[in-house]
Amino acid sequence: MARAWGSRSEKVEFGGVTYYRYPDSERPSDRDYFNFQGTYLHRAVWAAKHGPIPDGCHIHHLDGDPLNNDVANLVCILGSDHHRVHAAVPPPFLRTQEHLDHLARIRPEAAVWHGSQEGIEWHREHGRRVAANREARSAICEQCGGEYESVQPGKFCSSRCRQRAYAADPSKQEERHCACGQSFRCWRVSKRLRCYDCRPALPPRGRAGV
């Protein structure tokens, strides 16, 4: 896809590099941000003051103005937090009726592609790349107090510790009434509707057909 920059351009020099912006460009990134060969001015300004930008982090404009690249207006935040900030208050070009109509037109086609073999393979490869770049972090298990490492730490180090914590917490259980009249206790998240006497018998273990 060729870039449609438009006839107008603006430039800003910083650190011996000239950054350009194209106000008439069809691409929001070229229209709203000064950049030079894929390097954005606001990232260069923040890095010049604070050092290299940590992996997985974005530089956010506090006042929402992408042209205000004063270092006091820039903050380094996680990319996931940055996406949430802009999702809550989308930029003006994402709120126009023209853009909304465009999304309505392409949404069915996007759904078909994501469900296609090509789309599934893309998601698999994307998942592998993301997983390869994630680093394990240390955490303390709230049940056993042991230290463990995980790329996505939770409250517990294992399912066993989670079950033990739930068993010791009465708020995780509730009393239910079976159709036979008996009462029984189970986890709140359980789908069980029958008592243990009325639950279906499990088939005997063994090979299929035996």
SS (H, E, C) 71-122: HHHEEEEEHHHHHHHHHHCCCHHHCCHHHHHHHHHHHHHHHHHHHCHHHHHH
- Between CA 24 and CA 41 the distance in angstroms is 19
pLDDT, one tens digit per residue, over 149-184 is 988 888 899 999 988 888 888 888 889 999 899 999
Three-state SS at 172: helix
The average pLDDT across 15-41 equals 89
What is the predicted pLDDT for the residue at 26?
81
pLDDT tier for residue 3 given thresholds of 50, 70 and 90: very low
pTM: 0.45
CB-based contact 186:170 (threshold 8 Å): no
The average pLDDT across 179-195 equals 87
As given in the structure block, the two tokens for residue 164 are: 């033990």
Three-state SS at 62: coil
What is the predicted pLDDT for the residue at 199?
77
pLDDT, one tens digit per residue, over 92-140 is 666 678 878 888 899 999 999 999 999 999 999 988 887 777 788 888 9
59: how many CB neighbours lie within 10 A of its CB?
20
